[in-house]
Amino acid sequence: ETGVTQTPRHLVMGMTNKKSLKCEQHLGHNAMYWYKQSAKKPLELMFVYNFKEQTENNSVPSRFSPECPNSSHLFLHLHTLQPEDSALYLCAVRAGGLEDTQYFGPGTRLTVL
């Protein structure tokens, strides 16, 4: 248990659907991240939020829309996705301090039909 939860754990959606992924942290840290993990590829950083402000958008298509309403919650809104967007989406929280370790949630496995 890392103190980072993600819902849903699995999601199947059509290309015309709109859905949202949710990340919640109970660690009290200020930096939150979305990563995408596709098969046979390294983790790709998508977005970074620091103190609820987006500080990084790693050239992510606009069909992915993040939202950070408070320091405990991070959302990823999805609309008109493509089959190649099927992947594991991981949320992480940065602990700060000397090590600055990132702790991950269990991920949402997304399948786009």
Partner 1 sequence: AQKITQTQPGMFVQEKEAVTLDCTYDTSDQSYGLFWYKQPSSGEMIFLIYQGSYDEQNATEGRYSLNFQKARKSANLVISASQLGDSAMYFCAMRGRAGTASKLTFGTGTRLQVTL
Handedness of CA 58, 64, 69, 70 (dihedral sign): negative
Residues 65, 71, 72, 102: which binds partner 1 (CB under 8 A)?
102
60 touches partner 1 (CB under 8 A) = no
3 beta partners: none
Looking at this protein, which amino acid is placed at residue 82?
A: Q
Among 59, 62, 70, 99, binds partner 1 (CB under 8 A): 99
What is the SS3 assignment for 21-45? EEEEECCCCCEEEEEEECCCCCCEE
Output the smallest distance, CB 21 to partner 1, in A.
Answer: 13
What is the binding site for partner 1 (CB under 8 A)? 2, 31, 40-43, 45, 48, 50, 55-56, 88, 90, 92, 94, 96-107, 109
